[in-house]
Structures are given as C-alpha cells and as structure tokens.
Amino acid sequence: MLGRTANGLFWMFRYLERAENTARLLEAALRMALTRDIVAAEAEWRSVIATLGLQQAYEAANEGYDGLSVWNFVLRGPSNPGNVRAMFGAVRSNARMARINISSDVWEAVNDNWMKLDKLLARPVGQTAVGEVLGAIRRAGTQVHGAFDGSMLRDEGFHFARAGTFIERADSTARILDMKYFLLLPSLSYVGSSLDTGQWEQVLRSVAGARVYSWLNAGQIEARGIVDFLVLDDRFPRSLAFCRGALRECLGALARAHGVEGGCHALMRDADTRISHLSVDQIFDQGLHEFLVDFLARNAAISRAIAEDYRFHA
C-alpha cells in the first residue's frame, strides 16, 4: 500500500472519530444547559470551547458564551477552520484519496453522509434543529464504522484506519476527563454533593458512558469510580485502557504483516508499562492531571511514529 494512502486512511478515521466525539460533547452540554440556571449553562458552554482548545478563536469572533453561538462556532464557524463541517470535508477527501483501498460500501456511507451533513451545516443551526444535526453526525460515524467492519479486507489498510480511530478516541476521552477534572478541582472535597454529581455525570455523558456506568455501579456516581471506569475499565470502548488495547492489536497486526517492528512499537511498549497494573488510587496519588498530560503526550508520540515508520510522507 502507498504511504500516502495509509496516511489518508489513518486521517479519514481520525476526523470521523473527532466529528463524532465533538457531537457527543455538544449533546451532553446541551442537556446540561437545559437543566441548569443561566450562569451554570454559560460555564458549561465555556468548558466545551475550552475542552476543544478553541478559546482564542471563539472569543475573537463572539461576545459571550451562549449555546447558539457555541454550537454554531463548533459545527460550522467560518473563523473556526477545524469545524465539524470541515472535519467531514476532510473525512471525504481522505476517503477519495484512499478510494481504491476502501470498499464501495465504506465510500458510499462516507459520501452519503457528507452530502447530508454538508447541506445540514450550510446554514446556521437553530435551537430546534440542533438535536437532529448532532444525531445525524453521530449516526454518520456509526454507519461508516458499520460498513467498514462488514466489508473491509483485513489488510494493513484496515489496521491503519483502526489505529486512527483509537488514537483519536483516546485523545478525546483524556481531554474531556482532564478538562472536567480541572473545573471540578475546587469541589473535590465535596465529593457526593449534588452539583458535583451532576458534573461527573456530565463527563460520562460526553463519552456516551452514563447509562452503562450507572448500570455497572447501581446508580452510584462518584469521582473515583468514574475515573476507574474511563481510564482503566477495558470493557468500555471509549476508555483509555480499551483504546490502548485496540491500538496495541493494530500495531501488532502491522508488525506481523510487515515482518518488522518500528519506532511506534517501542513507544507503545513503553506506554503500556506505565498504565498496566495501575490502580485508581495510584492515579490519584500521582495526580490525575499529571497522569493525563503524560498519557496525551505519549499518544501523540505514537501517532507521529506510525506516520514515520510507515512512510506516510515523502
């Protein structure tokens, strides 16, 4: 496979994942804002922009933090080059570039959803439409992944695409957790208070884990349990441990197919030794924020090493 094509598959799935995660983040904030007073709602929208690292660009283009402004900026803001509409454009142009290495089912799922979303996002998204738009973005991801699982040859292209998915997903979960933790820091001593519970529940919603968490924990919401779930529980497909495991599989398959390991494999092994056998208490002892910063840096380093090992660029 061409290095450029591998790069196309990797980024096609990173952008697809990013769009889906962004939609989940907005959905969770939307729900939160509806159930809180104006001050709390504004804080929630502010934290969405902060989580996405868009403060500067957002504040240059907007007066204050209200839902309508935030979701329009994130979904389609012309002064936000990384908006969701542009992400889908990138998904599609990467898919076109890798066209001969993806199945027709995958291409049609991408193209179909791109046509739909590009139209939905061509105009400002109002209060009544936003739920539908966010749902459509999530479903786009689901449809592409479904077509992908059901029709793709399990060759190296498959593994590059999955590597992109799990690197992006781990990045997203870690960022959401870090941001919420940062906001919640002052209230950590009030673990169990009602505001706190709501905020932590919000973290779970942002990564589509609220229902399954409360089913596993008989409805008990508390910080340590949530961190344990989102970082260490390898049964939950958006946890850091799950993403790491899936990425490990992808890289293992690539090494077997090529008969040789590269720099990304060494980094992966090194990263693994830092997270395996870790308990949630140890994470809190070393500091959750420090742990997550280290995790994000290693995740990014593995991504760069994959690009280098497999000749993504000339």
Partner 1 sequence: MNDDGGTFDEMFDGSGQTRPAYAEYCRWFDEQPGEVLKRKNREADDTFRRTGITFNVYGENEAEERLIPFDMVPRIITAAEWRRLSRGIEQRVRALNSFLYDLYHRQEIVRAGRLPERLLRANDAWLANMVGFTPPGGIYTHIVGIDLVRTGPDEFFVLEDNARTPSGVSYMLENRETMMAMFPDLFSRVGVESVSNYPRRLARSLAACVPPAFRGGRATVAVLTPGIYNSAYFEHAFLADQMGAELVEGSDLRVVEDRVQMRTTRGYKPIDVLYRRVDDEFLDPLTFNPDSVLGVPGIMDVYRAGGITIANAPGTGVADDKAIYSFMPEIVEFYTGEKPLLPNVQTWRCADPDSLAYVLDNLAELVVKEVHGSGGYGMLIGPTASRKEIKAFREKLEARPENYIAQPTLALSTCPIYTRAGLAPRHVDLRPFVLVSPEGIDITPGGLTRVALKKGSLVVNSSQGGGTKDTWVLKD
DSSP for 84-126?
HHHHHHHHHHHHHHTGGGS-HHHHHHHHHHHHHHHHHTSS---
Nearest distance, CB of residue 221 and partner 1, angstroms: 44
Comparing CB distances to partner 1, the nearer of 99 and 139 is 99
Comparing CB distances to partner 1, the nearer of 228 and 309 is 309
Comparing CB distances to partner 1, the nearer of 4 and 274 is 4
Comparing CB distances to partner 1, the nearer of 102 and 288 is 102
Comparing CB distances to partner 1, the nearer of 277 and 313 is 313
As a residue count, the chain comes to 314
Sign of the torsion formed by the C-alpha atoms of 293, 294, 299 and 304: positive
Q: Would you give the DSSP letter of residue 221?
A: -
CB 61 within 8 A of CB 73: yes
119, exposed or middle or buried, with CB in 10 Å at 0-12, 13-18, 19+? Answer: exposed
Comparing CB distances to partner 1, the nearer of 157 and 209 is 157
Comparing CB distances to partner 1, the nearer of 9 and 221 is 9
Nearest distance, CB of residue 74 and partner 1, angstroms: 22
Helix (H) or strand (E) holding 223: helix 223-227
| Residues 204, 226: Cα–Cα separation, whole Å | 8
| Residues 204, 29: Cα–Cα separation, whole Å | 11
CB 197 within 8 A of CB 221: yes
| Residues 118, 116: Cα–Cα separation, whole Å | 6
Nearest distance, CB of residue 139 and partner 1, angstroms: 16
Q: Would you give the DSSP letter of residue 187?
A: G
Nearest distance, CB of residue 156 and partner 1, angstroms: 6
112, exposed or middle or buried, with CB in 10 Å at 0-12, 13-18, 19+? Answer: middle
Residues that bind partner 1 (CB under 8 A): 1-6, 93, 96-97, 99-100, 104, 107-108, 111-112, 115, 156, 258, 310-311, 314
Nearest distance, CB of residue 141 and partner 1, angstroms: 18
Nearest distance, CB of residue 277 and partner 1, angstroms: 33
Nearest distance, CB of residue 303 and partner 1, angstroms: 15
Q: How far is CA 17 from the centre of its chain?
A: 6
